[in-house]
Amino acid sequence: MKPDIKFVTPQEAVKVIKSNDHIHLSSVASAPRILIDAMVERGRNKEFTNVHIHHLHTEGPAPYAAPELEGVFQLDSFFVGSNVRKVTQSGYADYIPVFLSETQRLYRAGVLPCNVAMIQVSPVDKHGYVSLGTSVDATLAAVECAETVIAVVNPHVPRSFGDAMIHASMIDYFCEDDTPLEEARFAVPNEVETAIGKHCAALIEDGACLQMGIGSIPNAVLAQLTGHKNLGIHTEMFADGVLPLVESGVINGMNKTTDKGKMVSTFLMGSQKVYDFIDDNPGVMMMDVGYTNDPYVIARNPKVTAINSALQVDLTGQVCADSLGTTFYSGVGGQIDFIYGASMSKGGKAIIAMPSVTNKGISKIAPVLNPGAGVVTTRAHIHYFVTEYGAVDLYGKSLQERAKLIIGVAHPDHREALEKAAFERFGPHYQYIKMNA
């Protein structure tokens, strides 16, 4: 049944927000901009205090995190995106460390309350359904658990399928907007990223099921896969890089045993081409993050190949992916969900890929992680490690063997210092370690 929908202004809708409430915002391109602006206006007028904001990565401005609104809003994000990085690092906003797979559980298990969910959806169809479009992730859980749900109906939101489809009766207030969704664009891969892409592509077998994180390295990998066959997608997100491979038939999902022939994701971050691609596309399933990022669901498909990046790796294979020392840069995200899931998949491969040095020439491979750096992927979880200088398999290798392999793909300018650090750490026997790989 198609419900009788009545629209209100954003200003009227956000009147439900009261002091001490917890607000969930839909993620990435689907951040409900007109509701955010109306909520912040109330905050600036001192109409409430201590309102907690929760979301994953969002594109566009985040005015609720401004230092001058301290005491009015408190941002406790599930991932530190670029738009809130500075305020998080300075302490005006905060971060909740959580596996991406468990962000939905924070609401469903009652760990966090959800008083108001503010979301953006497609227009209501003839059956009374709307779509969450580009952002299912933890947003579906927030909608299910919230005391009040406010939805911005926007014709630019793609009508995606899977868990994205919800009945309009789940929504309490409707507002209208006709603003195009925020787009994310990634730079063309440089020489280093292209080299990394080639090394990763060499590890990807025909029939593999792919997961890739955010950034230029995933796009560099995808650009090297034009000669592959029957690849599948089960991921937390994808962007423009997959589209040429879908069009050419390289990505068709025919080797998947779970969701065969379907591309599975939980959120999207890309250009308008990506949003157009998922609109009314039954070949794409936008699913709850508790499904996409469940390691045991991931492992059901064969040859799952997960490619994720890092900020720093030490000589034993510990991976820091969320912070620069004590300074938080991003978040735990879904890296360990997919590293573990890929490791359990039959024929699966878990890959950590990163440039060997920073833009300033500092080695990202270190004798030990910087003080305060967080270990996202442990030395027990890491399998393949890739830089522009090659790929090495660390699984089943001893600490000293790992050090030899990792140093072998470090930047040549830093190998001597790393060898010296390894010798000092492991003792004189280290110099006799010989590797066949």
- Catalytic amino acids? 236
Q: Give the relative orientation of helices 399-408 and 412-426 as an angle to the nearest 10 degrees.
A: 170
Q: For residue 168, which phi and psi values (nearest 5 degrees)?
A: -60, -20
Cα distance between residue 226 and residue 117, in whole Å: 41
Token digits of residue 314: 């030490």
Q: By C-alpha distance, which of 103, 125, 99, 123 is closest to 112?
A: 103
Contacts of 283 (CB under 8 A, 6+ apart): 253, 261, 262, 263
